[in-house]
Amino acid sequence: MTPELAIEIARRAVQTILMAAAPMLIVGMVIGLLVSIFQAATQINEQTLTFVPKIVAVFVTFLLFGPWMIKLLLLFTRGLFDIMTTL
């Protein structure tokens, strides 16, 4: 295995993980921002108020994007196996 191939595999792995995690991270960030604005407007400083909506939103996002994420990870894994057969 050449160093260039190893770097390419690592780059694709990081790219795949970022793409798979992006929907949940973005939804969690948006919900956190909305809850923070709500807390600032109402002056409610309850720490647990931010966790429940974020957890629910991330779970729903995972349910919606789960099949796409699995396809993305399977595509990456198949690519790895294809590369292994050529070594």
Q: What does the pLDDT read at residue 63?
A: 96
Q: What is the pLDDT of residues 16-26, one digit of tens each?
A: 999 999 999 99
Question: What is the C-alpha R_g of the chain?
Answer: 19
* Whole-number Cα distances in Å, 77 to 6, 32, 73, 86: 15, 33, 6, 15
Give the pLDDT mean for 29-48. 89
Decide if pLDDT at 47 tops 90. Answer: no
Q: What is the pLDDT of residues 49-77, one digit of tens each?
A: 888 999 999 999 999 999 999 999 999 99
CA distance 76 to 79: 5
Of 1, 16, 3, which is closest to residue 79 (Cα–Cα)?
16
Give the pLDDT mean for 31-59. 89
pTM score, whole prediction: 0.81
Q: Where are the domains of the chain?
A: 3-86
